[in-house]
Amino acid sequence: MSGDAPVRGKEWRLTESAFNRLLERLDEDRDRAAEKYETVRRKLTSFFHWRGCANPEEYVDEVFDRVARRTEEGAPWQTENPYVYFHGVALNVLREHWRAPQTQSLEDLPGASQPSVDPAVQQRRREDSEATDRRLACMQRCIQQLPVESRQLVVQYHGPEGVKIDTRKRLAGALGIPLNALRTRVCRIRAALETCVGACLGGPAE
């Protein structure tokens, strides 16, 4: 695993119910919960950025996923200040990032030093590739099931690197909503997609 990606623990996917429960834990008032959500995200993004993480928003997503999972499982928050709790989880994610070994592609090694591939490794790679292909197929199917407006919103929101911030500001302006409300809306769509993908993966392979 590259050191530029979050180190993830046991497989868990954000669901719409888990996301709603997280917002309720932030604040009973929906608008205030969305504001606190955005504030925590902004602080965590700066936290990971200033510690040299190449894609800070990916690490922030991992932190929110872990907190959402713990909240859904009934784990109590040890502080009334949401950011203090999220920051503690972010420290764990950062430590895992620092511990993750840097990998070197076989193509970068001299020919004589390239080891022969273990058949067991080949089998695992083949199984991983098949699992990835199936997940992508499920994701494409679930995206197609979204309302056209939601599908376009997700595609535009996750635009090319380098122009995301400007694009999101334009999207929020076009919809007549604050940027934090836009982020919350997209997160709900993402949670619904993960639920759909999970159901698809649990069905028979085609």
For the domain that residue 164 is a member of, what is the CATH number? Answer: 1.10.10
- Residue 120 placed within a domain: no
Low-confidence ranges of the chain (pLDDT < 70): 1-12, 100-129, 158-164, 203-206
If you write DSSP's letter for every residue of 97-152 in order, what string do you get?
HHHSPP---GGGS-GGGPPPPPHHHHHHHHHHHHHHHHHHHHHHHHHHHS-HHHHH
Give the pLDDT of residue 47: 86
Give the pLDDT of residue 206: 47
Looking at the fold, whether 163 and 95 belong to one and the same domain comes out as no
Looking at the fold, whether 92 and 138 belong to one and the same domain comes out as no
Looking at the fold, whether 141 and 92 belong to one and the same domain comes out as no
Q: What is the pTM of this model?
A: 0.50
Our count of domains for the chain comes to: 2
Residue 206 DSSP code: -
Give the pLDDT of residue 155: 74
Coil/strand/helix, residue 8:
coil
Looking at the fold, whether 33 and 86 belong to one and the same domain comes out as yes
- Residue 53 placed within a domain: yes
Taking the C-alpha atoms of residue 143 and residue 79, their distance in angstroms, rounded to an integer, is: 38
Looking at the fold, whether 149 and 94 belong to one and the same domain comes out as no
- Residue 21 placed within a domain: yes
Whose structure tokens read 């919809």? 175
Whose structure tokens read 């109590």? 76
- Residue 124 placed within a domain: no
Could you give phi then psi for residue 162, rounded to 5 degrees? 100, -25
- Residue 119 placed within a domain: no
What is the domain range of residue 93?
Answer: 16-99
Mean pLDDT over each residue of the chain, to the nearest integer: 75
- Residue 140 placed within a domain: yes
Coil/strand/helix, residue 47:
helix
Give the pLDDT of residue 31: 81
Alpha helices, DSSP H, located in 3-118: 16-26, 30-49, 56-72, 82-99
Torsion of CA 136, 141, 146, 147, to 10 degrees: 130
Coil/strand/helix, residue 184:
helix
